[in-house]
Structure 1
């Protein structure tokens, strides 16, 4: 099976550019109810994932930073505590599942590292669940 089957394409994904501000990211994550979003550079390459935890640690560890002045902090300057890995669109399902066990979503890139979308862990689990249900019906 090709992992593209699970792909949520970039045009349906909430992501952010490195030159965005902390405030923009906080508001975007709040609006969409997300706890993490992919980050891309100006060339469209995936560079990492920013989480709520990263934002909280930045607030905690930056003297004089509060919500009012988060518009002065660029996303590129926020330390990301976990290195969320991406997969190539040509990767096998085993590689995808291995990453999805530790990430809510897996960013997908092309051969040039250009971000093309994500694969949500929930989509993989739902697919597996439906396969199990279907196989049980065939047995009975």
Structure 2
């Protein structure tokens, strides 16, 4: 688990939570009282749902019913709870009511890799390393591209990330896919063919849970065996208000943007809507 936790108070303005998520590039924060007792969780989607209220506080927008674990909880139990609660990516670790840490899907993937279940990638996409400048898709969260403009006046193309995109092939080994997610701190990444046509998307949750057939887990070794094929997409010319529904009402973290030929031309994330 991560012991040095970025938190926010329930009586803080909602803008404070957005600022802290932007600074730390997190998608959610634990909410605590002055005794550091956990009282809720605030996420980017909570911020988006309440951003039209200038007087909203963190307490107004946060989720109060929080799934928690203790430090002695087995990782298999944490992983199971994250699979059961599909939207759950961050689980607070609590001892006697006090917040002592958090654990995320990335932490679980990293633990598996260090334990030898995921090999370090022998090669990188395109033969280049993952170090160096972050692509535009991974610039600090919360900087936002909507600003003060009304959503109803914008198209997807106005705010989508279309530079420095990262996508992977379906034949990529699962351990290499995990490396991409961990190295770039992605929650999901698009899967494309040689012509950049969108084939699907693979997420942290896919890599953690594995695919199943009639209740039996398959022995997938590549992205093709685990990725989601039937993906909701938007087009650059679509109204941004329609895309916002996918990211807030339907709970998607990332939505691929494709042209009329199905070629990946961008991605839209919750942070783009701020």
Normalised to the residue count of structure 1, the TM-score between the two structures is: 0.72
| Residue equivalent to 1:116 | 265
**Larger RCO: Structure 1 or Structure 2 (Cα < 8 Å, ≥ 6 residues apart)?**
1
Structure 2 CA distance, aligned partners of 1:110 and 1:84?
14
1:104 aligns with 2:253: yes
Alignment partners' CA distance in 1, 2:172 and 2:210: 15
Q: Tell me the equivalent position of 1:53.
A: 205
| Structure with the higher helix share, 1 or 2 | 1
Is 1:75 aligned to 2:219, yes or no?
no
Q: Which runs of 5+ in 1 are unaligned?
A: 66-72, 127-140
Q: Which residue does the alignment assign to 1:20?
A: 172
Q: Is the 8 A contact 2:235 2:257 kept in 1?
A: yes
How far apart are 1:107 and its partner, in Å?
A: 0.8
The number of aligned residues is: 115
- 1:99-134 residue CA offsets vs partner (Å, 9 max, x unmatched): 11221121100010100011121110x1xxxxxxxx
Root mean square deviation, CA, Å: 2.2
Instruction: Structure 2 unaligned segments of length 5 or more: list them.
Output: 1-153
Question: Match for 1:93 among 240, 243, 246?
Answer: 240
Alpha carbons of 1:3 and 1:62: their partners in 2 closer, same or farther (altered >3 Å)?
closer
Deviation of 1:14 (Å): 2.1
Q: Which runs of 4+ in 1 moved over 6 A?
A: none
TM-score, normalised by the number of residues in structure 2? 0.39
